[in-house]
Amino acid sequence: MKLTEKVTIGTVELKNRMVMAPMTRSRANADGIIQDITVTYYQQRSTAGLIVTEATNISEQARGALFTPGIYSDAQVEAWRNVTNAVHQAGSRIFMQLWHTGRVGHSIDKNGILPVAPSAIAIEGQQHHTSQGAQPYETPRALETHEVKQIIADYIEAGKKAKAAGFDGVELHGAFGYLPNQFLVDGANKRTDEYGGSIENRSRFVLEILAGLTEVWGAGKVGVKLSPSIPYNGMIDSDPVALYSYLITQCNALPLAYLHLMQPLLPIEQFPHWSKDVLKSFRHLSKHSVIANGGYQMENAEKTLLAGEADAISFGSLFLANPDLPQRFELNAELNAPDRSSFYGGTEKGYIDYPVLH
């Protein structure tokens, strides 16, 4: 089975081509410090060739959701070191996903401070889960140019802290409507400075972060997750094929480990000019390894690898519910069903109590 073959992604050797996708689980404490059960959670899933952690806040400003972890304090670094040690002892590799939520937050849980974004444009038609229940999104505060540069510096500092915590690399969360994605799409970015306007300018934020992270980490240890055809969180662009074709081509100049590409997970019939198959549209443009993501099951994952359309496949809820997913695939064994009620927040239930094969 191709899925369980060894592969080298960037400069990192993996024992199989199955990646545990980043999944927010909201089990950190109020200070963004992960707990002992999180060490167990990742250790259990070290059957994956590569684990990409849940999205992790690069700064206090970056935080948009309650009980999500950070990588900006010494205590956070120390807690994550327990995870990397456990994963390495279990024979796997782990990258940290670096996160800034941008406008996907609410002042209720940010000490009354408005979320920030490229432009003062609110997310419409969705609500944010806060400590006071679901709330309509607020209009964020537009960042000044010097603040944009400070956030880039925050990403680079977070990359250094992830290195100190023992990770094998980092992944920039450039997908699903968070801050880097907000800079990319023209529906959320109406800036007139060097970070707005043309495709080149809108891509600058992501490319400068990636350049800085590769300086910290060296070649083959920095990835980026992109979602060219997902409109969630108001990520509407007039020409995403042109935008992502440019961005991915520019990434070829950087010594990245991989591109982590999300297939469209939501209906996009209203956007007939958007890519219906992200791998077919963009894979050929990249000289880097590609990890495919987005609702894959064993059969279509194997088929995608055999066709050479991706180098590895990442699985989210399947790894959440099946810590021994590679073994189950090899044996064609029945899979545990994920308990959606325990995805976000809570205790050990639905987190570290899923049964494994013996």
CATH for 99: 3.20.20.70
Q: Are 180 and 174 in contact (CB under 8 A)?
A: yes
Q: Is the dihedral of CA 256, 20, 317, 293 positive or negative?
A: positive
Amino acid identity of residue 14, one-letter, is L
210 occurs within a structural domain: yes
358 occurs within a structural domain: no
Q: CA nearest 172: which of 185, 189, 159, 157?
A: 159
Catalytic (active-site) positions: 178
Q: Are 31 and 73 in contact (CB under 8 A)?
A: yes
Residue 224 pLDDT = 99
Residue 189 pLDDT = 98
- Which residue numbers in the chain have pLDDT < 70? none
Please count the CA atoms within 13 angstroms of the CA of 139 that sit on its side-chain side. Answer: 4
Residue 74, both tokens: 């010494």
Helix (H) or strand (E) holding 262: strand 258-262
Number of folded domains in the chain?
A: 1
CA 49 to chain centre: 17
For residue 336, CA distances in Å to 128, 185, 318, 328, 353 come to 30, 37, 8, 10, 11
352 occurs within a structural domain: no
For residue 154, give its domain range. Answer: 2-342
Taking only the tens place, the pLDDT of each residue in 88-122 is: 999 999 999 999 999 999 999 999 999 999 999 99
For tokens 């198959």, the residue is 277
Q: Are 123 and 135 in contact (CB under 8 A)?
A: no
Taking only the tens place, the pLDDT of each residue in 36-62 is: 999 999 999 999 999 999 999 999 999
Residue 358 pLDDT = 81
Q: Three-class SS string for 108-159?
A: HHCCCCCCEECCCCCCCCCEEEECCEEEECCCCEECCHHHHHHHHHHHHHHH
From CA 39, how far away is CA 76, in angstroms rounded?
13
Taking only the tens place, the pLDDT of each residue in 196-216 is: 999 999 999 999 999 999 999
From CA 37, how far away is CA 35, in angstroms rounded?
5
355 occurs within a structural domain: no
259 occurs within a structural domain: yes
304 occurs within a structural domain: yes
35 occurs within a structural domain: yes
68 occurs within a structural domain: yes
Q: Is the dihedral of CA 51, 213, 247, 289 positive or negative?
A: negative
